[in-house]
Structure 1
Amino acid sequence: MAEPFQAAVTGLGLVTPAGIGVAETWRTIRAGTPTASSDSTLDGMPVDFSCRVPGFDADALLGRRTAWRLDRYVHLALVACREAIADAGLDTSAWDGARVGVVMGNALGGVGTFTTQHETLLADGAGKVSSMLIPMMGVNMVAGYLAIDCGAQGPNLVTTTACASGTTAIGTARDLLRTGRCDIVLAGGAEAGLSRPIVAGFTRMGALSGRVDDPAAASRPFSVDRDGFVAAEGAGVLVLERHEHAVARGARIRARVSGYGASADAHHATAPDPSGTGAEAAIRAALTDAGLEPSDVDHVNAHGTSTPLNDAVEAGVVARVFPALPAVTSVKGVTGHSLGAAGAIEAACTVLTIEHGEVPPTANLENPDPALEIDVVRGAPRRLGVSAATSNSFGFGGQNAVLVLTAN
């Protein structure tokens, strides 16, 4: 049997409700400090809170000339990507751009721009709609703009698998490296969908927590009294390289992406298959791809949305696949659910868990659901040597994607 292909993770970049930058984000997640709070842009709505990136000033971070022509979801991605490239020690003026790809996950595109311009159309007519509307709102544009910013001329695409988009992007990036199409791929996800129509839609679906009296406590994955997720925004970018390429340039290898699995429930538009068959297939496929057994896995970074159905199905699958009960966490208790960005943010957190030997706690988990027979870390970080971990993502449409990350 061929040796499993391992993509080297040489750089991380994060912009999340837990903070701008990897260090600040990890500090907040490690502390288990929830970030959900009242959101003035949602005033008067049944659910009027969210998880926003704090203090994000696109003009200051990107320059006003760049910021004005981009939607917020691209703002977040650009800042995360620049951090990841710097963290990897790469010089974009010196690299062979034709060998550098970009794969980003996104679910909604530039909905903030679309909402604003639709309001302009209704109020002032078609002649006042911005000529930048289409390049600002396009789902594909985040990958295009990242390539423009750093001169990446290799394969360039966006994966759209709902809440699994960021994970799908990283798995797709690894495939580009495995086939030899690229030496480096910038991979991750970005989302900025906290517009009133989007939040209203999720509210009408019954997907969001209704804890308007205590937003900070609203996202509570695996809790017996969980009642929905908290809508969030954010971006995460990982620099992935062929191992030989990373070694040849003397790069620090933070961890490896050693396996990827994907599947479809083929069950329902928004609800997970109660049997968990599709999610289980994705996890087992990722383990097989990595050449690992379930007993090799020390940690599971769960999708853990804080919805009644998702958490129950995922917990059942984890218990079935991993009878040794690895340490489980969901960072969504801190960050909320950033849809297409979530999988990338969580993959980066899994890398940090491997590096630091510490599994962060699941925030707000005061009363674990006794029906969920898994070992969820809560209260404080758990010291644990992690040699292999899975990062799980499950999206609307029944789209499942799972990564296996291993220590270098």
Structure 2
Amino acid sequence: MQALPIIVGFGGYNAAGRSSSHQAFRRIVIESLSEYQQEQTIVGLACLMKLVSWDGELYVDAENKQCTPKQVVEAFGNLVLKGTLIRRLEDSLFDPKKIYGHKRIKIEPQNGEAVVFRLAKKDIPASIPEHWNITYLDEAFCEVSIKGAADFLVPTYSEQAAKAAGQLPSGFDPAAQYSSRFHPRGLQLALLGASDALASIGIPWDKIAASIRPDEVGVYCTSIMGQVTKEGLGGLLQARLLGERATSKHYAMGLNTMPADFVNAYVIGSVGHTAAITGACASFLYVLQAAIQDIRSGRRRVAIVGSAEAGLTPEIMEGFTSMGALGTDINLCKLDSSKTPNWRKASRPFGENCGFTIGEATQYIVLMDDALAIDLAADVHGAVSDVFINADGIKRSISAPGAGNYVSFSKAVASAIAIVGESTVRKHSFIHAHGSSTPANRVTESRIFDRVAEAFSIKDWPITAAKAFVGHSLAAASGDQLAFALGTFKYDILPGIKTVDKIADDVAQKRLFFPLQDMDLVNRKMDVAFVNSKGFGGNNATAVVLSPRKVENMLSARYGSVMADYQSRREETRQAAKNYAEKADKGNIPVVYRFGEALVQEQDIDISCDGIHMPGHKQDVIFDKLNPWADMD
């Protein structure tokens, strides 16, 4: 029997808010919620966005006036809605109308005369150009004379072509949540996302760690771009050109492995397994596959899986714009025959579109094998039974879609049918599409879904796309999809693709259904979600996600009478998770950052021929002495 990788906790942040307790999901379907749920969502976001705070009894606004939840909604509801989801990039990150750069100019002297200017001695270049003639005027200044033409770089500003972004909620600053010590924004997000996911479990991490051996936990996290803000690789690459010095932290902080390394070092203090695998925009599913394979095989019992990406920088946005991948303001106006771009609806999966909208996000889930989940009375938010990854083969363009997604998606559907049966997949499954909002994607991805639906006799297959609400968060994108899929299981609502007025004519729709408004699933409970992701270079991945209801049925079949005791003990776990959600909704967001704590003293590590005892860990590392190739000896 293989272990079932169960989702026992999840958390993170994107343009819709906090992932744990489904806050972000509630934001994207807010029109379809009850009045109480709408109030809960808006008030929680208002606290996250620092519009109000909790004083222990009531909410307090910036003028120190006390507010009831209803008063918060009345006063700040519109600001919350406007300050979340995709919108114009806010100046809190950078001004998209004023991007700093340099313009190369060539100065030609008139009538053969020299170009002469005054310069402070401290500003003289270390390597003086050959055509410079320097005359020292005094101890502080000199005169520079240049004969002939001269090239100069002049500081200037330009305007960014694409200004729409899936930015974190207005007023929410990750750096202000803990002592961030000049961490790049992407690593700030990693700490926040992992902390949120771990707190959402409802079981203290120390208790979990004490229940397993040190090497039975794995951290599987990554980013695509690394940390390209000035605190990371951006600062390293720009320093010399800006006349500054690179620091000792620029390179180390910039690596794309850091989201995993920070969780190991500063959140859980792990000496267990670690993996940082990248697959372009499918990277979250790449690390997820590694995690579930380790859990299914028994090599790992707990896995922390995630991605963190802070891609809202001028350089990254300019790079994607140069590729023609981002939806620019000009092209948005052309689509709408308007003089003003509709930034709110910039991302239009499967509709008439002109490119994707970049976003930032951090998404983490915590997986346990089913036996440990039962033993610790962990809650069940779903399970990931498998992830399939396939390349595109020979390509004409490295960024173009290809054949590999036919393989990954078809295998995922076949796998789900083997687990839950044909009827469940045909009637009770949905697709969280990659849905990047590019003309090529809407055609190719819909064609894949339609052909697979025909092969497996599926009709009216519901499809949604997270990027319509939060944009494309690069490595974390399929994490956004997974978090929203869990929301559908919880609330029986499939988010409609509400940024689209009409599905494009070239989208395959024979066996597919693209709801443009939220879809009520109360009478059609969903038990399977297919999370599909595509990435530059031919990185295709599809995950099979099972609903909590289906997982509990599977656990009952495996554990029988034990389930009653498990369900009774689980109430304490759920209450602890609820307590955390209530605190987080009031703006109390604990971030685990274990910097400066006592280190493991190497001389205290006890090594024997049977295993290793690590100080601070209840259980030992046990050596596996079985020869897997004994029959070949």
The answer, yes or no, to whether TM exceeds 0.5 is yes
Structure-2 separation of matches of 1:210 and 1:330: 20
Give the distance between the partners of 1:378 and 1:87, measured in 2 at CA: 31
CA distance in 2, matches of 1:154, 1:241: 15
Aligned to 2:386, which of 259, 262, 271?
259
Q: In 2, distance between residues paired with 1:82 and 1:29?
A: 23
- Distance of 1:382 and 1:106 partners within structure 2: 34
2:220 is the counterpart of 1:107: no
Q: What pairs with 1:292-311 in structure 2 (closer than 5 Å)?
A: 292=419, 296-297=424-425, 298-311=429-442
Q: Provide the C-alpha distance between the structure 2 equivalents of 1:99 and 1:69, rounded to a whole number of angstroms.
A: 32
The answer (yes or no) to whether the contact 2:349–2:468 under 8 Å persists in 1 is: yes
How far is 1:404 from its partner?
0.4
Cα 1:202/1:295, change in 2 over 3 Å: farther
The equivalences for 1:147-158 within 5 A come to: 147-148=264-265, 149-158=267-276
Equivalent position SS for 1:321: helix
Matched AA of 1:188: G
Matching of residues 5-404 of structure 1 within 5 Å: 6-22=4-20, 23-31=22-30, 34-40=85-91, 41=94, 42-43=96-97, 44-54=159-169, 55-61=171-177, 63-64=178-179, 67-94=180-207, 95-96=209-210, 97-112=214-229, 113-125=232-244, 128-148=245-265, 149-211=267-329, 213-223=341-351, 225-266=352-393, 267=395, 268-273=397-402, 277-290=403-416, 291-292=418-419, 296-297=424-425, 298-322=429-453, 323-372=458-507, 373=509, 374-383=512-521, 384-404=524-544
Distance (Å, rounded) in 1 between the aligned partners of 2:19 and 2:479: 14
Instruction: Give the deviation of 1:92 after TM superposition.
Output: 2.3
Q: Distance in 2 between matches of 1:35 and 1:198?
A: 17
Q: CA deviation at 1:183?
A: 0.9
- Label 1:111 to 1:218 Cα distance change in 2 as closer, same or farther (>3 A): same
Aligned-partner SS, 1:76:
helix
Question: Is the alpha carbon distance of 1:382 and 1:371 closer, same or farther for their aligned partners in structure 2, counting shifts above 3 Å?
Answer: farther
Query: Deviation string for 1:50-105 (max 9, x for gaps)?
Result: 211123323332x22xx124221111121111111111123223314432111013
Which amino acid is 1:162 matched to? A
* 1:135-156, Cα deviation, whole Å (9 max, x unpaired): 2100111101011111232211
Q: Distance in 1 between matches of 2:386 and 2:198?
A: 23
Question: Residues of 1 paired with 2:175 and 2:540: CA distance?
Answer: 36
Q: Normalized against structure 1, the TM-score is what?
A: 0.92
- Cα pair 1:231 1:337 within 8 Å, conserved: yes
Shift of residue 351 of structure 1? 1.8
Shift in Å, 1:326:
1.8
Q: Deviations over 1:201-241 (max 9, x none)?
A: 10011101123622111101011x21110011101101111
SS in 2 for 1:238: strand
**In structure 1, distance between residues paired with 2:386 and 2:237:** 42
Structure number, greater radius of gyration? 2
- Going from structure 1 to structure 2, the CA distance change for 1:330 and 1:387 (only over 3 Å counts) comes to same
Which amino acid counterpart does residue 72 of structure 1 have in structure 2? R
Q: Is the 8 A contact 2:264 2:271 kept in 1?
A: yes
How far does residue 167 in structure 1 lie from its aligned partner after superposition?
A: 1.2
- Aligned 8 A contact 1:185 1:241 in 2: yes
- Greater relative contact order: 1 or 2 (C-alpha under 8 angstroms, separation 6 or more)? 1
Offset of 1:295 from its aligned partner?
5.3
Contact 1:164 1:343 in 2 (8 A): yes
* Residues 20 and 56, structure 1, Cα contact 8 Å, conserved in 2: no
Query: Structure 1 residue 4: deviation in Å?
Result: 6.8
C-alpha separation in 1, matches of 2:172 and 2:434: 26
How far apart, in 1, do the equivalents of 2:315 and 2:472 lie?
Answer: 17
Q: Using the alignment, how far apart are the partners of 1:69 and 1:178 within structure 2? A: 39
Contact 1:260 1:285 in 2 (8 A): no
Q: Is the 8 A contact 1:101 1:186 kept in 2?
A: yes
Distance in structure 1 (CA, Å) of the matches to 2:160 and 2:422: 45
What is the root-mean-square deviation in Å for CA atoms of aligned residues? 1.9
CA contact (8 A) 1:105 1:168 kept: no
Whether contact under 8 Å (2:175, 2:185) holds in the other structure is no
C-alpha distance in 2 between matches for 1:302 and 1:320: 15
Q: Using the alignment, how far apart are the partners of 1:5 and 1:305 within structure 2?
A: 34
Shift of 1:339: 0.7
**Is the aligned partner of 1:405 residue 2:545?**
yes
Aligned-residue offset at 1:117: 4.0
8 A contact 2:164–2:344 mirrored in 1: no
123 and 98 in structure 1: CA distance in 2 versus 1, 3 angstrom threshold: same
CA contact (8 A) 1:361 1:378 kept: yes
Give the unaligned 5+ runs of structure 1: none
* TM-score normalised by the chain length of structure 2: 0.60
| 1:149-180 Cα shifts (integer Å, max 9, x gaps) | 11232211111100000111111110111121
Check conservation: 1:4, 1:289, Cα contact below 8 A: no
Question: Is the alpha carbon distance of 1:295 and 1:272 closer, same or farther for their aligned partners in structure 2, counting shifts above 3 Å?
Answer: farther
Q: Which moved more, 1:146-155 or 1:335-344?
A: 146-155
Q: Distance in 1 between matches of 2:283 and 2:529?
A: 19
Which amino acid counterpart does residue 254 of structure 1 have in structure 2? H
In the alignment, residue 290 of structure 2 is paired with which amino acid?
Answer: T
Higher mean C-alpha deviation, range 352-361 or range 162-171: 352-361
- Give 1:5 deviation, angstroms: 5.3
Distance in 1 of aligned mates of 2:239 and 2:494: 47
Question: For the residues of structure 2 that align with 1:250 and 1:4, how far apart are their CA atoms?
Answer: 20
- Cα distance in 2 for partners of 1:69, 1:179 equals 40
